[in-house]
Amino acid sequence: MTLQSPLSFTESLTSARRLAFYEGHKRIAIVMILIVFLLPFVGVFLQGLIGAVSGVIISVVCYYLTPYLVLKLGGQASQ
């Protein structure tokens, strides 16, 4: 049994870590694709231009933070 070093926040923001996470968690990747593309449209529908900008910002933040949060809160979640 190998012990993995704890994932730091700055390490989780690297593109290599993010890519490895999303390749290993296909379901989460599909959900994130839907969030990134659909949330700005939901924002336009609800609030107009301000909602669209908010939707883009929230979806990008979610895309970057999801690997860190899933691994920290849920451990090594399986596919």
pLDDT by residue (tens digit) across 33-43?
Answer: 999 899 999 99
The answer to whether residue 8 sits within a structural domain is: no
Q: Work out how many domains the chain is built from and give that number.
A: 1
Please report, to the nearest 10 degrees, the dihedral formed by the alpha carbons of residues 69, 54, 19, 7 taken in order.
-30
The answer to whether residue 9 sits within a structural domain is: no
**Vertex 57, ends 46 and 32: CA angle to 5°?**
90
The answer to whether residue 7 sits within a structural domain is: no
**Position 34: which residue type?**
L
Q: Residues of the chain with pLDDT > 70: what percent? A: 85
The answer to whether residue 78 sits within a structural domain is: no
- The model carries a pTM of 0.72
For residues 55 and 45, give the distance between their C-alpha atoms in angstroms, rounded to a whole number.
11
Q: Return all residues near 37 (Cβ < 8 A) that are at least 6 apart.
A: 59
DSSP state, residue 76: S
pLDDT of residue 6: 65
